[in-house]
Structure 1
Amino acid sequence: MAVKTQRGLVYGPSGQRLDLYRPENASHPATTVLLWHGIGPDERDVLEPLARTAAARGLLVLVPDWRSDAADGGKAQLLESLAFARKEADGLGGDGESCVLAGWSAGSGAALGVALRPEITEGWRPKAVVGMAGRYDLPARTTGTAPLDDLAAGRAPAVPVHLVHGSRDTVVDARHSRDLAAALRATGRPVTLQEPDTDHAGVIMTEYDPAANRCVPTTAEHAVQAGRLVAEALAKAGGAS
Protein backbone atom coordinates (compact mmCIF):
# COMPACT_ATOMS: atom_id res chain seq x y z
CA MET A 1 0.00 0.00 0.00
CA ALA A 2 1.34 3.44 -0.93
CA VAL A 3 2.16 5.76 1.97
CA LYS A 4 1.66 9.52 2.15
CA THR A 5 3.89 11.61 4.42
CA GLN A 6 3.43 14.99 6.07
CA ARG A 7 6.45 16.36 7.91
CA GLY A 8 6.97 18.97 10.57
CA LEU A 9 3.45 19.45 11.94
CA VAL A 10 3.56 21.56 15.12
CA TYR A 11 1.72 19.63 17.79
CA GLY A 12 1.55 21.88 20.85
CA PRO A 13 2.66 24.92 22.86
CA SER A 14 6.24 23.64 23.05
CA GLY A 15 6.58 24.17 19.29
CA GLN A 16 7.79 20.62 18.81
CA ARG A 17 6.99 18.86 15.56
CA LEU A 18 5.81 15.49 14.38
CA ASP A 19 5.69 13.55 11.14
CA LEU A 20 2.61 11.78 9.84
CA TYR A 21 2.49 8.60 7.76
CA ARG A 22 -0.79 7.34 6.35
CA PRO A 23 -2.03 4.97 3.67
CA GLU A 24 -3.07 6.66 0.45
CA ASN A 25 -6.66 6.32 -0.73
CA ALA A 26 -7.92 4.71 2.49
CA SER A 27 -11.65 4.12 2.26
CA HIS A 28 -12.30 4.45 6.00
CA PRO A 29 -10.63 6.05 9.06
CA ALA A 30 -7.32 4.35 9.72
CA THR A 31 -6.35 2.91 13.06
CA THR A 32 -4.14 5.56 14.67
CA VAL A 33 -0.76 4.88 16.26
CA LEU A 34 1.16 7.46 18.29
CA LEU A 35 4.77 6.28 18.22
CA TRP A 36 7.34 7.71 20.65
CA HIS A 37 11.09 7.52 20.03
CA GLY A 38 13.72 6.80 22.67
CA ILE A 39 15.93 8.91 24.90
CA GLY A 40 17.85 10.70 22.14
CA PRO A 41 16.38 14.23 21.88
CA ASP A 42 14.35 15.03 18.75
CA GLU A 43 14.84 11.73 16.94
CA ARG A 44 11.53 11.28 15.18
CA ASP A 45 13.41 10.56 11.96
CA VAL A 46 14.89 7.42 13.53
CA LEU A 47 11.44 5.82 13.50
CA GLU A 48 10.68 6.58 9.85
CA PRO A 49 11.43 3.08 8.50
CA LEU A 50 9.10 1.48 11.05
CA ALA A 51 6.45 4.18 10.64
CA ARG A 52 6.39 3.70 6.86
CA THR A 53 6.15 -0.05 7.22
CA ALA A 54 3.28 0.28 9.68
CA ALA A 55 1.44 2.85 7.52
CA ALA A 56 1.67 0.43 4.59
CA ARG A 57 -0.35 -1.95 6.76
CA GLY A 58 -3.19 0.58 6.78
CA LEU A 59 -2.30 2.56 9.91
CA LEU A 60 -2.14 6.32 10.49
CA VAL A 61 1.17 6.76 12.32
CA LEU A 62 2.16 9.95 14.15
CA VAL A 63 5.82 10.25 15.21
CA PRO A 64 6.63 13.27 17.38
CA ASP A 65 9.93 14.72 18.52
CA TRP A 66 10.40 15.07 22.26
CA ARG A 67 13.36 15.99 24.42
CA SER A 68 14.47 13.79 27.28
CA ASP A 69 16.83 16.59 28.36
CA ALA A 70 13.96 18.98 29.08
CA ALA A 71 13.58 20.06 32.70
CA ASP A 72 10.66 17.66 33.19
CA GLY A 73 12.31 14.80 31.32
CA GLY A 74 10.05 15.28 28.31
CA LYS A 75 6.73 14.75 30.08
CA ALA A 76 5.00 17.90 28.82
CA GLN A 77 6.01 17.28 25.21
CA LEU A 78 4.95 13.65 25.29
CA LEU A 79 1.55 14.56 26.69
CA GLU A 80 1.20 17.44 24.21
CA SER A 81 1.73 15.00 21.36
CA LEU A 82 -0.91 12.70 22.84
CA ALA A 83 -3.37 15.57 23.15
CA PHE A 84 -2.71 16.42 19.50
CA ALA A 85 -3.31 12.84 18.40
CA ARG A 86 -6.58 12.63 20.29
CA LYS A 87 -7.84 15.96 18.98
CA GLU A 88 -6.54 16.02 15.42
CA ALA A 89 -6.34 12.41 14.21
CA ASP A 90 -9.95 12.36 13.01
CA GLY A 91 -9.23 15.23 10.63
CA LEU A 92 -6.09 13.49 9.42
CA GLY A 93 -7.84 10.29 8.44
CA GLY A 94 -7.61 8.40 11.73
CA ASP A 95 -9.37 7.92 15.06
CA GLY A 96 -7.89 9.92 17.91
CA GLU A 97 -9.97 8.60 20.79
CA SER A 98 -9.21 4.95 20.01
CA CYS A 99 -5.53 4.95 19.22
CA VAL A 100 -2.64 2.63 19.95
CA LEU A 101 0.12 4.16 22.08
CA ALA A 102 3.55 2.78 21.24
CA GLY A 103 7.15 3.50 22.06
CA TRP A 104 10.70 2.34 21.56
CA SER A 105 13.28 2.18 24.36
CA ALA A 106 12.50 5.07 26.76
CA GLY A 107 9.34 5.74 24.78
CA SER A 108 8.09 2.28 25.69
CA GLY A 109 7.84 2.90 29.43
CA ALA A 110 6.31 6.30 28.71
CA ALA A 111 3.55 4.66 26.69
CA LEU A 112 2.76 2.05 29.32
CA GLY A 113 2.77 4.70 32.02
CA VAL A 114 -0.21 6.44 30.41
CA ALA A 115 -2.25 3.24 30.53
CA LEU A 116 -1.31 2.64 34.16
CA ARG A 117 -2.04 6.19 35.31
CA PRO A 118 -4.98 7.48 33.23
CA GLU A 119 -5.48 10.37 35.65
CA ILE A 120 -2.72 12.22 33.78
CA THR A 121 -4.98 12.23 30.71
CA GLU A 122 -8.30 12.89 32.45
CA GLY A 123 -9.17 9.20 32.56
CA TRP A 124 -8.35 8.38 28.94
CA ARG A 125 -6.54 5.16 28.07
CA PRO A 126 -5.20 3.99 24.70
CA LYS A 127 -6.77 1.10 22.81
CA ALA A 128 -3.59 -0.89 23.41
CA VAL A 129 0.10 -0.38 24.25
CA VAL A 130 2.97 -1.65 22.13
CA GLY A 131 6.41 -1.52 23.74
CA MET A 132 9.67 -2.10 21.88
CA ALA A 133 12.98 -2.76 23.63
CA GLY A 134 11.90 -1.00 26.80
CA ARG A 135 12.74 -0.95 30.50
CA TYR A 136 9.91 -0.88 32.98
CA ASP A 137 11.80 -0.73 36.26
CA LEU A 138 12.73 2.92 35.69
CA PRO A 139 10.43 5.95 36.11
CA ALA A 140 8.30 6.47 33.00
CA ARG A 141 8.84 9.84 31.35
CA THR A 142 5.10 10.49 31.38
CA THR A 143 4.40 9.65 35.02
CA GLY A 144 7.60 9.74 37.07
CA THR A 145 6.92 6.24 38.44
CA ALA A 146 8.18 2.88 37.25
CA PRO A 147 5.53 0.75 35.53
CA LEU A 148 6.60 -2.33 37.49
CA ASP A 149 6.16 -0.38 40.74
CA ASP A 150 2.69 0.72 39.62
CA LEU A 151 1.78 -2.89 38.87
CA ALA A 152 3.08 -4.02 42.25
CA ALA A 153 0.96 -1.33 43.88
CA GLY A 154 -2.18 -2.75 42.30
CA ARG A 155 -2.51 -0.52 39.27
CA ALA A 156 -3.41 -2.18 35.98
CA PRO A 157 -3.18 -0.99 32.37
CA ALA A 158 -6.71 -2.28 31.62
CA VAL A 159 -5.75 -2.60 27.93
CA PRO A 160 -3.77 -5.24 26.00
CA VAL A 161 0.01 -4.85 26.08
CA HIS A 162 2.17 -6.13 23.23
CA LEU A 163 5.94 -6.34 23.71
CA VAL A 164 8.69 -6.85 21.14
CA HIS A 165 12.32 -7.06 22.26
CA GLY A 166 15.36 -8.15 20.29
CA SER A 167 16.93 -11.30 21.70
CA ARG A 168 20.39 -9.85 20.94
CA ASP A 169 19.76 -6.46 22.57
CA THR A 170 22.88 -5.41 24.53
CA VAL A 171 21.60 -1.91 25.33
CA VAL A 172 18.43 -2.95 27.13
CA ASP A 173 18.42 -6.64 27.99
CA ALA A 174 15.34 -8.57 26.89
CA ARG A 175 14.81 -9.69 30.47
CA HIS A 176 13.20 -6.31 31.14
CA SER A 177 10.36 -7.13 28.77
CA ARG A 178 10.20 -10.67 30.15
CA ASP A 179 9.87 -9.29 33.68
CA LEU A 180 7.01 -7.02 32.64
CA ALA A 181 5.25 -9.80 30.76
CA ALA A 182 5.50 -12.03 33.82
CA ALA A 183 4.14 -9.29 36.09
CA LEU A 184 1.19 -8.69 33.78
CA ARG A 185 0.43 -12.39 33.45
CA ALA A 186 0.53 -12.78 37.23
CA THR A 187 -2.38 -10.37 37.49
CA GLY A 188 -4.29 -11.95 34.61
CA ARG A 189 -3.68 -9.07 32.20
CA PRO A 190 -3.50 -9.70 28.43
CA VAL A 191 0.10 -9.49 27.18
CA THR A 192 2.14 -10.83 24.29
CA LEU A 193 5.94 -10.94 24.06
CA GLN A 194 7.96 -11.61 20.92
CA GLU A 195 11.76 -11.76 20.81
CA PRO A 196 13.02 -11.54 17.23
CA ASP A 197 16.65 -12.32 16.47
CA THR A 198 17.87 -8.71 16.37
CA ASP A 199 19.35 -5.98 18.57
CA HIS A 200 18.23 -2.70 20.13
CA ALA A 201 18.34 -0.72 16.90
CA GLY A 202 17.23 -3.56 14.67
CA VAL A 203 13.82 -3.86 16.30
CA ILE A 204 12.91 -0.55 14.61
CA MET A 205 14.60 -1.38 11.29
CA THR A 206 17.76 0.61 12.00
CA GLU A 207 21.39 0.16 12.99
CA TYR A 208 23.50 2.32 15.27
CA ASP A 209 25.99 4.58 13.46
CA PRO A 210 28.81 5.60 15.86
CA ALA A 211 29.92 8.44 13.59
CA ALA A 212 26.45 9.99 13.59
CA ASN A 213 25.78 8.92 17.19
CA ARG A 214 22.28 7.87 16.21
CA CYS A 215 20.37 5.05 14.61
CA VAL A 216 20.05 5.06 10.83
CA PRO A 217 17.99 2.94 8.40
CA THR A 218 19.34 -0.46 7.44
CA THR A 219 18.43 -3.19 4.99
CA ALA A 220 19.94 -5.93 7.15
CA GLU A 221 17.58 -8.89 7.00
CA HIS A 222 17.32 -9.31 10.79
CA ALA A 223 16.19 -5.70 11.16
CA VAL A 224 13.78 -5.79 8.23
CA GLN A 225 12.15 -8.92 9.61
CA ALA A 226 11.96 -7.46 13.12
CA GLY A 227 10.40 -4.25 11.83
CA ARG A 228 7.77 -6.20 9.94
CA LEU A 229 7.01 -8.09 13.13
CA VAL A 230 6.55 -4.83 15.03
CA ALA A 231 4.34 -3.41 12.27
CA GLU A 232 2.20 -6.52 12.49
CA ALA A 233 1.97 -6.12 16.27
CA LEU A 234 0.87 -2.50 15.83
CA ALA A 235 -1.76 -3.50 13.29
CA LYS A 236 -3.10 -6.30 15.46
CA ALA A 237 -3.13 -4.04 18.52
CA GLY A 238 -5.34 -1.61 16.63
CA GLY A 239 -7.54 -4.31 15.11
CA ALA A 240 -6.30 -3.53 11.60
CA SER A 241 -5.28 -7.10 10.79
Structure 2
Amino acid sequence: MAPEMGMAGTAVETERGLVYGPSGKRLDVHRPAGATGAMPTVLLWHGIGPDERDILEPLARATAALGVLVLVPDWRSDAPDGGRSHLLESLAFAREEAGGLGGDGESLVLAGWSAGAGAALGVALRPEIADGRRPSAVVGLAGRYDLPARTTGTAPLDDLAAGKEPGVPVQLVHGTHDAVLDSQWSRDLAAALRAAGRPVALHEPETDHAGVIMTAYDPAANRCVPTTDEHAVRAGRMVAGVLAEAAGAGSVA
Protein backbone atom coordinates (compact mmCIF):
# COMPACT_ATOMS: atom_id res chain seq x y z
CA MET A 1 0.00 0.00 0.00
CA ALA A 2 2.85 2.38 -0.83
CA PRO A 3 1.62 5.90 -1.60
CA GLU A 4 1.67 7.08 -5.21
CA MET A 5 1.14 10.57 -6.55
CA GLY A 6 -2.44 11.37 -7.55
CA MET A 7 -3.59 13.62 -10.39
CA ALA A 8 -3.63 16.68 -8.13
CA GLY A 9 -0.05 16.16 -6.98
CA THR A 10 -1.16 14.73 -3.64
CA ALA A 11 0.16 11.32 -2.61
CA VAL A 12 -2.63 8.74 -2.64
CA GLU A 13 -2.58 5.34 -1.00
CA THR A 14 -4.73 2.42 -2.08
CA GLU A 15 -5.80 -0.58 -0.03
CA ARG A 16 -7.23 -3.32 -2.21
CA GLY A 17 -9.50 -6.26 -1.61
CA LEU A 18 -11.32 -5.61 1.67
CA VAL A 19 -14.29 -7.94 2.13
CA TYR A 20 -17.36 -5.77 2.64
CA GLY A 21 -20.23 -8.10 3.51
CA PRO A 22 -21.73 -11.60 3.80
CA SER A 23 -21.46 -12.10 0.04
CA GLY A 24 -17.67 -12.06 0.30
CA LYS A 25 -17.37 -9.38 -2.37
CA ARG A 26 -14.42 -7.01 -2.12
CA LEU A 27 -13.76 -3.30 -2.38
CA ASP A 28 -10.78 -0.99 -2.73
CA VAL A 29 -10.04 2.03 -0.54
CA HIS A 30 -8.36 5.14 -1.97
CA ARG A 31 -7.32 8.00 0.32
CA PRO A 32 -4.80 10.83 0.61
CA ALA A 33 -1.61 9.54 2.18
CA GLY A 34 -1.09 10.68 5.75
CA ALA A 35 -4.51 12.32 6.08
CA THR A 36 -5.80 12.82 9.61
CA GLY A 37 -9.33 13.34 10.83
CA ALA A 38 -12.56 12.24 9.19
CA MET A 39 -12.38 12.84 5.46
CA PRO A 40 -15.41 13.36 3.22
CA THR A 41 -16.38 9.97 1.84
CA VAL A 42 -17.58 8.79 -1.58
CA LEU A 43 -18.94 5.32 -2.34
CA LEU A 44 -18.49 4.80 -6.08
CA TRP A 45 -20.32 2.02 -7.95
CA HIS A 46 -19.17 0.67 -11.31
CA GLY A 47 -21.49 -0.27 -14.17
CA ILE A 48 -23.03 -3.46 -15.49
CA GLY A 49 -19.78 -5.35 -16.10
CA PRO A 50 -19.44 -7.88 -13.25
CA ASP A 51 -16.73 -7.20 -10.65
CA GLU A 52 -15.10 -4.24 -12.39
CA ARG A 53 -13.99 -2.12 -9.45
CA ASP A 54 -10.54 -1.85 -11.01
CA ILE A 55 -11.78 0.20 -13.98
CA LEU A 56 -12.76 3.01 -11.60
CA GLU A 57 -9.31 3.24 -10.03
CA PRO A 58 -8.04 6.16 -12.17
CA LEU A 59 -11.08 8.27 -11.24
CA ALA A 60 -11.04 7.12 -7.62
CA ARG A 61 -7.40 8.05 -7.18
CA ALA A 62 -7.89 11.43 -8.84
CA THR A 63 -10.75 12.07 -6.41
CA ALA A 64 -8.79 10.89 -3.39
CA ALA A 65 -6.03 13.33 -4.31
CA LEU A 66 -8.55 16.13 -3.67
CA GLY A 67 -8.92 15.09 -0.03
CA VAL A 68 -11.62 12.42 -0.24
CA LEU A 69 -11.87 8.84 0.99
CA VAL A 70 -13.18 6.82 -1.97
CA LEU A 71 -14.57 3.29 -1.63
CA VAL A 72 -15.03 1.26 -4.82
CA PRO A 73 -16.75 -2.14 -4.47
CA ASP A 74 -17.19 -5.01 -6.86
CA TRP A 75 -20.76 -6.10 -7.60
CA ARG A 76 -22.33 -8.48 -10.07
CA SER A 77 -25.15 -7.47 -12.33
CA ASP A 78 -25.57 -11.12 -13.30
CA ALA A 79 -26.42 -12.18 -9.75
CA PRO A 80 -29.94 -13.60 -9.28
CA ASP A 81 -31.11 -10.30 -7.75
CA GLY A 82 -29.35 -8.18 -10.38
CA GLY A 83 -26.69 -7.07 -7.91
CA ARG A 84 -29.04 -5.51 -5.34
CA SER A 85 -27.64 -7.32 -2.30
CA HIS A 86 -24.04 -6.55 -3.27
CA LEU A 87 -24.78 -2.86 -3.73
CA LEU A 88 -26.67 -2.56 -0.45
CA GLU A 89 -24.03 -4.56 1.43
CA SER A 90 -21.37 -2.15 0.18
CA LEU A 91 -23.50 0.80 1.27
CA ALA A 92 -23.94 -0.66 4.76
CA PHE A 93 -20.19 -1.29 4.97
CA ALA A 94 -19.40 2.27 3.92
CA ARG A 95 -21.67 3.69 6.59
CA GLU A 96 -20.39 1.40 9.34
CA GLU A 97 -16.70 1.18 8.52
CA ALA A 98 -15.74 4.46 6.84
CA GLY A 99 -14.77 5.97 10.19
CA GLY A 100 -12.18 3.29 10.78
CA LEU A 101 -10.77 3.86 7.31
CA GLY A 102 -10.35 7.60 7.81
CA GLY A 103 -13.68 8.77 6.44
CA ASP A 104 -17.12 9.87 7.55
CA GLY A 105 -19.87 7.29 7.06
CA GLU A 106 -22.54 9.65 8.36
CA SER A 107 -21.97 12.13 5.54
CA LEU A 108 -21.62 9.89 2.52
CA VAL A 109 -21.83 10.78 -1.16
CA LEU A 110 -23.22 7.93 -3.25
CA ALA A 111 -22.03 7.91 -6.84
CA GLY A 112 -22.26 5.52 -9.75
CA TRP A 113 -21.27 5.13 -13.38
CA SER A 114 -23.56 3.76 -16.10
CA ALA A 115 -25.87 1.20 -14.41
CA GLY A 116 -24.39 2.31 -11.09
CA ALA A 117 -25.80 5.82 -11.61
CA GLY A 118 -29.44 4.78 -11.52
CA ALA A 119 -28.68 2.46 -8.61
CA ALA A 120 -27.26 5.38 -6.62
CA LEU A 121 -30.18 7.70 -7.33
CA GLY A 122 -32.60 4.92 -6.41
CA VAL A 123 -31.29 4.86 -2.84
CA ALA A 124 -32.06 8.56 -2.44
CA LEU A 125 -35.53 8.18 -3.95
CA ARG A 126 -36.39 5.10 -1.89
CA PRO A 127 -34.34 5.36 1.32
CA GLU A 128 -36.45 2.63 2.94
CA ILE A 129 -34.21 0.10 1.17
CA ALA A 130 -31.28 1.43 3.22
CA ASP A 131 -32.80 1.67 6.71
CA GLY A 132 -34.41 4.98 5.81
CA ARG A 133 -31.06 6.73 5.38
CA ARG A 134 -30.31 8.85 2.35
CA PRO A 135 -26.78 9.70 1.22
CA SER A 136 -25.73 13.32 1.66
CA ALA A 137 -25.61 13.75 -2.14
CA VAL A 138 -25.84 11.69 -5.31
CA VAL A 139 -23.57 11.87 -8.36
CA GLY A 140 -24.68 10.06 -11.52
CA LEU A 141 -22.10 9.47 -14.24
CA ALA A 142 -23.28 8.58 -17.76
CA GLY A 143 -26.46 6.94 -16.52
CA ARG A 144 -29.86 6.03 -17.87
CA TYR A 145 -32.78 6.65 -15.54
CA ASP A 146 -35.84 5.23 -17.29
CA LEU A 147 -34.85 1.64 -16.49
CA PRO A 148 -35.34 -0.16 -13.16
CA ALA A 149 -32.53 0.73 -10.78
CA ARG A 150 -30.48 -2.23 -9.59
CA THR A 151 -31.08 -1.20 -5.99
CA THR A 152 -34.84 -0.62 -6.08
CA GLY A 153 -36.33 -2.40 -9.08
CA THR A 154 -38.10 0.81 -10.11
CA ALA A 155 -37.04 3.45 -12.62
CA PRO A 156 -35.89 6.73 -11.07
CA LEU A 157 -37.87 8.76 -13.62
CA ASP A 158 -41.00 6.78 -12.73
CA ASP A 159 -40.38 7.38 -9.03
CA LEU A 160 -40.05 11.10 -9.67
CA ALA A 161 -43.26 11.12 -11.70
CA ALA A 162 -44.99 9.35 -8.80
CA GLY A 163 -44.00 12.14 -6.42
CA LYS A 164 -40.94 10.63 -4.79
CA GLU A 165 -38.06 13.03 -4.19
CA PRO A 166 -34.34 12.40 -3.70
CA GLY A 167 -34.20 14.84 -0.79
CA VAL A 168 -30.50 15.59 -1.44
CA PRO A 169 -28.53 17.49 -4.11
CA VAL A 170 -27.92 15.59 -7.35
CA GLN A 171 -25.00 16.15 -9.72
CA LEU A 172 -25.01 14.56 -13.17
CA VAL A 173 -22.15 14.12 -15.63
CA HIS A 174 -22.63 12.81 -19.16
CA GLY A 175 -20.25 12.97 -22.10
CA THR A 176 -21.53 14.70 -25.22
CA HIS A 177 -19.94 11.96 -27.39
CA ASP A 178 -21.42 9.02 -25.47
CA ALA A 179 -22.43 6.40 -28.06
CA VAL A 180 -23.43 3.82 -25.42
CA LEU A 181 -25.98 5.86 -23.45
CA ASP A 182 -27.01 9.14 -25.04
CA SER A 183 -26.57 12.21 -22.88
CA GLN A 184 -30.27 12.95 -23.40
CA TRP A 185 -30.99 10.51 -20.57
CA SER A 186 -29.20 12.77 -18.10
CA ARG A 187 -30.81 15.86 -19.60
CA ASP A 188 -34.24 14.27 -19.13
CA LEU A 189 -33.48 13.49 -15.50
CA ALA A 190 -32.15 16.99 -14.87
CA ALA A 191 -35.34 18.46 -16.36
CA ALA A 192 -37.52 16.20 -14.20
CA LEU A 193 -35.63 17.17 -11.06
CA ARG A 194 -35.86 20.87 -11.88
CA ALA A 195 -39.58 20.52 -12.53
CA ALA A 196 -39.92 18.99 -9.07
CA GLY A 197 -37.98 21.89 -7.56
CA ARG A 198 -35.02 19.72 -6.58
CA PRO A 199 -31.37 20.90 -6.72
CA VAL A 200 -29.50 19.44 -9.68
CA ALA A 201 -26.45 20.30 -11.76
CA LEU A 202 -25.67 18.78 -15.15
CA HIS A 203 -22.14 18.73 -16.58
CA GLU A 204 -21.53 17.65 -20.19
CA PRO A 205 -17.83 17.25 -20.96
CA GLU A 206 -16.67 16.52 -24.51
CA THR A 207 -15.92 12.84 -24.02
CA ASP A 208 -17.53 9.42 -24.37
CA HIS A 209 -19.01 6.76 -22.07
CA ALA A 210 -15.62 5.50 -20.91
CA GLY A 211 -13.99 8.91 -20.88
CA VAL A 212 -16.04 10.23 -17.96
CA ILE A 213 -14.24 7.72 -15.73
CA MET A 214 -10.83 8.51 -17.25
CA THR A 215 -10.70 5.31 -19.32
CA ALA A 216 -11.06 4.05 -22.88
CA TYR A 217 -12.98 1.00 -24.03
CA ASP A 218 -10.72 -1.83 -25.25
CA PRO A 219 -12.70 -4.12 -27.61
CA ALA A 220 -10.11 -6.90 -27.33
CA ALA A 221 -10.43 -6.99 -23.55
CA ASN A 222 -14.15 -6.11 -23.63
CA ARG A 223 -13.62 -3.68 -20.78
CA CYS A 224 -12.50 -0.15 -20.01
CA VAL A 225 -8.81 0.44 -19.42
CA PRO A 226 -6.81 3.44 -18.18
CA THR A 227 -5.92 5.97 -20.86
CA THR A 228 -3.93 9.12 -21.35
CA ASP A 229 -6.26 10.40 -24.08
CA GLU A 230 -6.61 14.12 -23.52
CA HIS A 231 -10.42 14.19 -23.61
CA ALA A 232 -10.66 11.41 -21.00
CA VAL A 233 -8.03 12.88 -18.69
CA ARG A 234 -9.70 16.29 -18.87
CA ALA A 235 -13.15 14.81 -18.24
CA GLY A 236 -11.90 12.57 -15.44
CA ARG A 237 -10.34 15.51 -13.65
CA MET A 238 -13.60 17.39 -13.95
CA VAL A 239 -15.55 14.42 -12.59
CA ALA A 240 -13.13 14.11 -9.68
CA GLY A 241 -13.84 17.75 -8.92
CA VAL A 242 -17.59 17.12 -9.06
CA LEU A 243 -17.26 14.22 -6.62
CA ALA A 244 -15.08 16.26 -4.28
CA GLU A 245 -17.43 19.22 -4.44
CA ALA A 246 -20.42 16.98 -3.67
CA ALA A 247 -18.53 15.64 -0.68
CA GLY A 248 -17.61 19.14 0.48
CA ALA A 249 -13.90 18.80 -0.24
CA GLY A 250 -13.36 20.88 -3.36
CA SER A 251 -14.85 22.47 -6.44
CA VAL A 252 -15.50 21.52 -10.03
CA ALA A 253 -12.36 21.90 -12.11
TM-score of the superposed pair, with normalisation by structure 2: 0.95
Partner SS, residue 89 of structure 1: helix
Query: How far, CA to CA, are the matches of 1:227 and 1:130 in structure 2?
Result: 14
Query: How far, CA to CA, are the matches of 1:49 and 1:138 in structure 2?
Result: 28
CA drift at 1:28: 2.2
Structure 2 letter corresponding to 1:8: G
Query: How far, CA to CA, are the matches of 2:131 and 2:218 in structure 1?
Result: 40
Q: Does 1:204 align with 2:217?
A: no
CA drift at 1:41: 0.2
Residue in 2 that maps onto 1:14: 23
Residue in 2 that maps onto 1:167: 176
In structure 1, list runs of 5 or more residues that go unmatched.
Answer: none
Q: Does 1:31 align with 2:40?
A: yes
TM-superposition CA deviations, 1:103-141 (whole Å, max 9, x none)? 000000000000000000111000100000000000000
Q: 1:67 aligns with which of 51, 72, 76?
A: 76
Moved over 3 A (4+): none
Q: 1:103 aligns with which of 108, 112, 116?
A: 112
Residue in 2 that maps onto 1:42: 51
Query: How far, CA to CA, are the matches of 2:40 and 2:68 in structure 1?
Result: 5
In structure 2, list runs of 5 or more residues that go unmatched.
Answer: 1-9
Query: How far, CA to CA, are the matches of 1:239 and 1:22 in structure 2?
Result: 15
Q: How many residues align?
A: 241
Query: How far, CA to CA, are the matches of 1:53 and 1:164 in structure 2?
Result: 16
Structure 2 letter corresponding to 1:215: C
Contact 2:97 2:105 in 1 (8 A): yes
TM-superposition CA deviations, 1:180-237 (whole Å, max 9, x none)? 0000000110000000000000000000000000000000010001001111000110
Residue in 2 that maps onto 1:149: 158
Query: How far, CA to CA, are the matches of 1:4 and 1:206 in structure 2?
Result: 20
Query: How far, CA to CA, are the matches of 1:194 and 1:45 in structure 2?
Result: 24
Query: How far, CA to CA, are the matches of 2:99 and 2:167 in structure 1?
Result: 24
TM-superposition CA deviations, 1:61-109 (whole Å, max 9, x none)? 0000000000000000000000000000000000011110000000000
Query: How far, CA to CA, are the matches of 1:46 and 1:166 in structure 2?
Result: 17
Q: Does 1:220 align with 2:229?
A: yes
Identical residues among aligned pairs (%): 77
Query: How far, CA to CA, are the matches of 1:219 and 1:191 in structure 2?
Result: 30
Contact 2:36 2:102 in 1 (8 A): no
CA drift at 1:155: 0.2
Partner SS, residue 31 of structure 2: strand
Residue in 1 that maps onto 2:4: none
